[in-house]
Each structure stands twice: as structure tokens, then as C-alpha cells.
Amino acid sequence: MTVAHRSTPPLGRPAVMPVMIGALALLFITATTLHLGRAFPVSAWSDLFAPSGNLQAAILYYSALPRLVMALMAGACLGFVSTVLQLVLRNPIAEPATLGVSGGVSLALTIVSLFAPGLLGAGRDLIGMAGAGLAMLAVLALATRENLSPIRLILGGLIVSLLCGTMGTLLALFHHDSLQGLFIWNAGSLVQNDWHPARRLLVQILVSVLPIAILLRPLTILQLQDESARSLGLSLVRIRLLALAASIFLSAAVTSTIGVVGFVGLAGATFARMAGVRRLIHRLLLSSLFGALLLSAVDQGLQLLTGSFGEIPAGAVTALLGAPLMLWLLPRLVSMPTTRPGEHSAAGRRIWPMLVLSIALLLVFGGLAMTLTHDASHWHLAVGADFRATVSWRWPRTLTAISAGFILGVAGVISQRLTGNPLASPEVLGVSSGAGLGALVTVMAFAQPDRATQMISGAAGAILALALVLTLVRRSAFSPERLLLAGVAISTLFSGTLTFLLTIGDPRIRVFLVWMAGSISGISPSDAMLAFGFALLSAATLPLLGRWLAILPLGSSPARAIGVNGTVSGIVIMLAIAILTAVTTMLVGPLSFVGLMSPHIVRMAGLRRPLEQAFAAGLVSAIILVAADLLGRTLLFPYEIPAGLMASLIGAPYFLFLMRRARS
């Protein structure tokens, strides 16, 4: 599946952009004036350049002004880098996190904080740079065999980011209290104590921007399709490698300095494309301006509240405020003409050998999950009376793992074929995030919420998220780009809320972290039967969607020529994805990996037809999830690793192995 790309799409209404820039600039100036004027008296300003005898002047000079400058520089860098990455990767939702940069930095700092805290004195930015560098080397190693093709870079970045996030979450579950300071850093803290970080970041910006400036003309040509760029004499591998190296270095420098600030880069790059400018230099400048204004305005506004609420990390709140801004702008976008090439029509491998192998593996892992048990001394297979004693509480979680895995695999194939985007997953509609937000509200509102309350709250959140997405995209005939951006914005709202709550240290969030990691331990027989029923329903309804799934990747124009109503088919498929995702999310948590990667696994195995892909991806996901549940409760017995984390640890290496072997 390929990602359509046009050189200079008129994505939005240019008349809206001056209003947006003016509004953000006015918000920034107002918040900055109010904050600095209220916090620092006139005497502090008069002694600004001789602050030794005035405490307020010293705070202004060494803390407030460096923080303001840092916010402007960091926001500009994130917007700039996101624009470059979207161009190189040819994907409208690419940002630094896409290539695993944020995950590599965060994991490196987590490991050092826990096991070698003395190294932090050598420099947080050096450790972060090392983590980002290793993550990027892993991504490049996976993409070198395909000349650094955008699809390979994206998939490699997804896997590396997933592995880093999984290991970081696993460490957080076991060392939650020891990582409180890192949670605040992860939320994007702009607190400064002197001018050294700002000066260092300025030097790093100059070092990174210079190669991009030199490559400006080749990057402009890179907006064309690969064949056209090659015909003009452009070395795609060399240009992509240099642009990626500069972008990764700059984004790693920002992340190491202030922490993980999500959504600012994506918002800045998206707003710049909305302006409809055609020259790349103008897009880079506009995205930098948007990013700088957005991050600094939010940070200055937050500092007005610090007297009542204490220090609030800007990164988390930027997501909370920026996502609604994105949602407000989406209906004002002019839809892009969609030309989504389908997959090669040549016949792939036969499905029957893979189905037989998948079913056999599923039976093996399912049998082990039902019978493997531990007594006072060793592991053994339960038979006879032992089996009858354990089967009553083993079969619900085993059946749920198989059913939820199958549902997520099917939903993943449908999502990627609907949007024509390899980054799409069952969470693309924001339904999973909506259900998660509903569950989070329940955890925070009730001391010990029962299962029914959690299910109702999660269902309400999922319905609201789906209704919001449908409202936003209904006028665009379900444009894939607008659909993706709406899902990303809703997901960002949820992740920003969770990140903010992590920073306040509420003990209830630890329980929610286990649910977020994908735990199947609390499944009841009724939950298992519900999951199994929806798995059967998804298998039965797939043939009804087969024609749409085969035609929609061809693009909207060919679909209309064949007689397919894009609006009706889009609504039906979105509802199917939403229902399947919401059910599994409410039962076992947001298991994002299996629905994201299993479609790629079956395509790498040679399957081409949509129904074959869907059934095979469902079986692959079921195998991964039931094996993950089995290993998660046996490796560290009597402790348990959530199935979602184990699924990532199992599936990601296998996917890496397939990427190294596959040629397309």
C-alpha cells in the first residue's frame, strides 16, 4: 500500500491563515505582557543587566527570559522539523515521534535515571542524543535495502518507537515512584535556571538548519514522485539521509533539552500547509512561526496560573489546547484530491498454507495457555483434576485474547485500506482514545468503579469520539488526510490528559497504567463471550465489505466510476472500525500494536487480496496476543506483565525480521 503525494496541495483557505497567525500572536503578546508585568516590578526591569543586587531582576534574567526564548526556539524547531519529515516521508502526519526520536531519548533517560543516575551529571542532552542516535541507526538499518524509501522509514520508525515505548512503560510499571521527575520531563517542562541551555540549543539549531538550507533546492524536487526526481538527476538516498540526519539531530536536541512536547510540530506543519503556500522555504518559515507562537503562548499563559496550581508542564497542556484548535480548523480545510494507488494487482501467495500454519500455531499457544500451570515447585501441564481446577479461570482470558486479537487484526486491515496510509491503525478514528478517556474519568471519579461502570463510561467516550470525527469529515467525502488528522487530534487530547495526570502523582493513575498496557487478567466469562461474539460478527461481516475494501484504495474517482458511493461506504467502514475497536478497548485496553502491524506482516508474507489480508491479519494478531498473555503471566511469575506490552515485545522483533527479509 502506498501513500499518495502531491507536490503543493492547496490544503486550506489562505484567508484563514492571517487570522490564525494574528490570533496566536495576540495571545502570545497578551499572555507574555500580563505574566511578566504581574510577576516582575519595574525595579526588576531597571536592574535587568545588573541583577546581582535585585532578586527579582535575577529571576527575570536567569529564569523568565531564558524560558521565553527557549519556548520560542523549541516551538520553531519542532514545526520546522515536522515539515521536513512530512516532505521526506511523504506522509501528512509525520513528526519527530514517527522515526522513534522521542522514544529513543525517553528510553535512554529512563534507563540512566534508574540504573546509572550519576551519568545524568555528564549532561542530559548527551544521553538523549545517544538514545536518539541509536533509534535512528536502527531505523536506517531497516530501510537501507530499499534505498531509504519513505514506507520503509515510516514502518521502521513505528517499530523502533513502539519498542522504546514498550520498554519505557514496562520500567514505569515497576519503578513508578522513582520516575516521577522523569514523568514531568516527559510532559515537556520549559523551566530554565540560566542561559546555557538556550545558547547550546541555538548552536545546535545553526548546525542543523545549515544542511537543510543547502539542500533546499533538492528537497523542493523531492516533492515530486521518485521516478520524476530521479529523472532530474537527484540522488534520493543521499538527500533523504542528509535531511533525516539534520532533522533527527535537531529534534533530539529539543527533546533532550525540554522533554517530549507532542503535537506542536504536527500542528505547525499542518497549519503551514493550510496556508496554501507553494514554495518550500515559505512552508518552513510558516511552520516554524506557528510552532514558536503556539508553544510560547501556552507556556506564558500557564505561568499566569502557577500561583494557584504550581508548575504545569507546557508539553502536556499544549496538546490539550492545540488539539481542539486542530479540530476547529478541520472543517475549514479544502479537501485534497485523493489518488491513492492500490496494491499491485499481481497475484500474491496462496492463503491456504498461511491459514493452516496460523491455525496450528493458534491451537498450540491456546492449548499451552489453558494447561500450563505452576505449583509450589515447578511448571507443568495441567491434566485431569488439575485441568478441571484451572480451566474455569483460564478459558475466559484465553478466549478473550484470541477474540480481541482477531478483531484488532481485522480492524487494522480495514483502517489501512480505508485511509491508504501505513500509519493508520484501529486508533485512527480516535475511538480507542475516546474509550480510554471515558475509562480514565471513571477511575478519577469513583474510588472503586465496577466493571459495568467502566464499560458504560468507555462506551460513552467512544461514541462521542466517533460522533466528533463524523461531524468533522462529513463535508469532505471522508478525505483520508482529514480523517487521519481528526483521529490524531482526538488521540492527542487523550494522551495530553493522561500525561498531565501523570505529572501530579495521583496513585490512581498507576492502576490506569496497567489498563493502558493491555491487561487481560480481570476478564470474566461474560466478557469473554462478548469478545468471542464480536469476533464471529467481524468474520461474518467481512465478505460484505470485501468489494469496498478492494475498490477504495484505488482512489475516489475510480471508485465513483465503478459505482461505489464514497460517503456511504466511508460511513459504514468507519462504523465497523469504531465498533470493533471500542469493544476490544473497553475489555482489554488500547492494544495498538497488533492492529497496526499485523496488516504489514501479512502483506510481507505475500497476501494481496483484502479479505485474505483481513482474515490472515486477524489470525496473526490472535497468535501474538494469546502468546503474549501466556508469556506475560509466566516469565516473572508470580508477577504479571500486561499482555499489551508482551505483544509488542513479541511482535516487534518478528516484524523487524520480516522487514529485513522482504524486498517490497
Residue that finishes a domain, picked among 329, 347, 381: 329
Query: What share of the chain in percent tops pLDDT 90?
Result: 2
Neighbours of 275 (CB within 10 A): 23
Residues 490 and 637 placed together within one structural domain of the fold: yes
In a domain? residue 344: no
In a domain? residue 388: no
In a domain? residue 494: yes
- Express each pLDDT in 371-406 by its tens digit: 887 776 677 777 777 777 777 878 888 898 899 889
**Total of domains in the chain:** 2
CATH of the domain at 547: 1.10.3470.10
pLDDT class for 504, splitting at 50, 70, 90? low
pLDDT class for 3, splitting at 50, 70, 90? very low
In a domain? residue 646: yes
Task: Write the CB contacts of 531 (distance below 8 Å, at least 6 apart in sequence).
Answer: 399, 400, 403, 404, 407, 583, 584, 587
Local structure of 373: helix, strand or coil: strand
pLDDT at 4: 41
Residues 397 and 534 placed together within one structural domain of the fold: yes
Neighbours of 307 (CB within 10 A): 9
Largest CA distance in the chain: 86
Residues 500 and 565 placed together within one structural domain of the fold: yes
Can you say whether the dihedral through the CA atoms of 170, 323, 255, 133 is positive or negative? positive
Any idea how long the chain is? 664
Alpha-carbon distance of 110 to 496, in angstroms, equals 20
Alpha-carbon distance of 184 to 220, in angstroms, equals 39
pLDDT at 69: 92
pLDDT at 80: 92
Domain holding 137, by residue range, is 16-30+53-329
Residues 325 and 362 placed together within one structural domain of the fold: no
- Express each pLDDT in 192-241 by its tens digit: 888 888 998 999 899 888 888 888 888 888 777 666 667 776 777 788 88
pLDDT at 347: 46
Alpha-carbon distance of 8 to 64, in angstroms, equals 40
Nearest residue to 250 (alpha-carbon basis) of 85, 110, 64, 107: 85
CB 230 within 8 A of CB 147: no
Hey, what's the cell of 415? Answer: 483502517
- Express each pLDDT in 599-626 by its tens digit: 878 877 778 788 888 888 889 889 888 8
Of 28 and 90, which is predicted with more confidence? 28
